[in-house]
Structure 1
Amino acid sequence: MTISPPAMPVPVCAVPAPARPRTKPAEVRLDELMAAAERLFLDKGVEATTVSDITALAGVAKGTFYHYFPSKHEMLAALATRYTSHFLASLEASVDRCLPHDWEGRLRAWVQANVATYLRTWRLHDIVYTSHRRSVGTEAEDNPDKNAILVHLGAILAGGAAAGAWPLPQPRLAALMIYSAVHGVTDDAIAAQLQDSSAFAADVADACLRMLGR
């Protein structure tokens, strides 16, 4: 009887782990760069903050800054757009928690979220918007950030008017009046150093609804 030699074990090769990317995606690096600038502008002011300060806090080379922005001025403009995007997202999230056809509730949510968000972020607002910009031509071209907020408010007002929730012969005028009123009274609350905005925001919403005959 012939005995076969034992089979040799087949070596198992280790599977190499996938290589990690050495650099962060461009959008992540840009977001970190802008977050660093925002923090420094709030802490030190725009003029006192240097490009070197920003890149040091973000942990990137100075050339990375200039890859995205020619100067601090252009970064400030980008931060303004970023601020409005976050502001609008806060409004949309609050409004979307209401039922689609609850127009009074949706307008109330818009106003109250606007007051609360502005009170929470006014220091950054004043940094990125150092002067009031008046629309000379079409607002979409001359003041796109303000226009984005007005479009959102206008859609609520137009939807409510179409559903018979309130009369609205001049939608654009009503949107401008509510927008200006909300920001004006919130500026007053900021000057008074208001701590709790809940009751104040509800009162502002009531006043806006009275403007519409509710």
Structure 2
Amino acid sequence: MMARTTKPADERRDEILDAAQRLFVTKGFRATTIEDLLAAVGIAKGTLYYHFAGKDEILQALVMRTVRQVTARAEAVAASDLNPLHKFIGVVATVSADAEAAELAEEFHASGNDAFHLMSIIELICHLTPVLTRVVEEGVAAGVFTTGQPREDVEIILTGIGFLTDDGIFTGEQAEIPRRIRGLVDAGERLLGCPAGSLAVLAGSAAPETPSGGEA
């Protein structure tokens, strides 16, 4: 009988999450069984349950891991030496930068996963709000933005992006998303107090995800 490989708890947990993400994307969350996960990772049921109570907890952990990854990319953009306008667009762009996260998000749209879908949007808003608020405050200090309530405006903008551009919420209205994005950009410019068209131009060109430094 082959001896089981013992791994550090964090490494084993990530291994389970990696396998779960692959299975949830390719097979679907509802169709994936605990036995599928055990076979994919090569562990006993007791090992899996040591880390997670079940599939729901695994999917919740995947949501939070994705949120942390997006937030880390956003922090990198916010800490760069890009100008505040480019930082603002760059931080917002990090939400859709990860192909694997996008595939997982598609699974959230599946019937029965509404709670996880909503959780992913809310957690992203909560985690990105302080990052984007600092960018706006920097912009106010530099005279790029004129808002007197950076955090409140950021919450409004992120909530609008999170819900109005999600075709999993507005089912069958994908054709409306470009119009809504234009409206959100216009509203963002007015809320932040930057020149009309300044965010629209950058949103169209998309600021780099990993800035190499220097003002754009």
Q: 1:122 aligns with which of 102, 107, 122?
A: 102
Instruction: Name the structure 2 match of 1:61.
Output: 44
What is the number of residues matched between the two proteins?
176
Aligned counterparts of 2:183 and 2:15: Cα–Cα separation in 1: 36
SS in structure 1 of the partner of residue 166 of structure 2: helix
* Larger Rg, first or second structure (1 or 2): 1
Instruction: Name the structure 2 match of 1:4.
Output: none
Aligned 1:72-91 pairs, distance under 5 A? 72-91=55-74
**Following TM superposition, by how much is the alpha carbon of 1:179 offset from its aligned partner in structure 2, in angstroms?**
0.7
Aligned 1:1-214 pairs, distance under 5 A? 23-99=6-82, 102-114=83-95, 116-117=96-97, 121-127=101-107, 130-131=114-115, 132=118, 145-184=124-163, 186-187=165-166, 191=174, 207=186, 208-209=188-189, 211-214=191-194
Distance 1:33 1:185, change over 3 A: same
Instruction: Name the structure 1 match of 2:204.
Output: none
Range with greater deviation from structure 2 (178-187 or 105-114) = 178-187
Which residue type is aligned with residue 41 of structure 2?
A
Given that residues 118 and 186 in structure 1 are in contact (C-alpha distance below 8 angstroms), is that contact kept between their aligned partners in structure 2? no
TM-score relative to the length of structure 1: 0.67
**Following TM superposition, by how much is the alpha carbon of 1:31 offset from its aligned partner in structure 2, in angstroms?**
0.5
Aligned counterparts of 2:139 and 2:61: Cα–Cα separation in 1: 34
Q: Which has the higher contact order (CA 8 A, sep 6+)?
A: 2
Root-mean-square deviation (CA, aligned residues, Å) is 3.4
Aligned counterparts of 1:123 and 1:86: Cα–Cα separation in 2: 15
Unpaired runs of at least 5, structure 2: 168-172, 195-216
Aligned counterparts of 2:21 and 2:137: Cα–Cα separation in 1: 36
Given that residues 125 and 162 in structure 2 are in contact (C-alpha distance below 8 angstroms), is that contact kept between their aligned partners in structure 1? no
- Where has structure 1 moved over 4 Å in runs of 4 or more? 203-207
**Following TM superposition, by how much is the alpha carbon of 1:78 offset from its aligned partner in structure 2, in angstroms?**
1.0
**Following TM superposition, by how much is the alpha carbon of 1:96 offset from its aligned partner in structure 2, in angstroms?**
3.5
TM-score relative to the length of structure 2: 0.66
Given that residues 112 and 205 in structure 1 are in contact (C-alpha distance below 8 angstroms), is that contact kept between their aligned partners in structure 2? no
Q: How much identity, in percent, do the aligned residues show?
A: 31
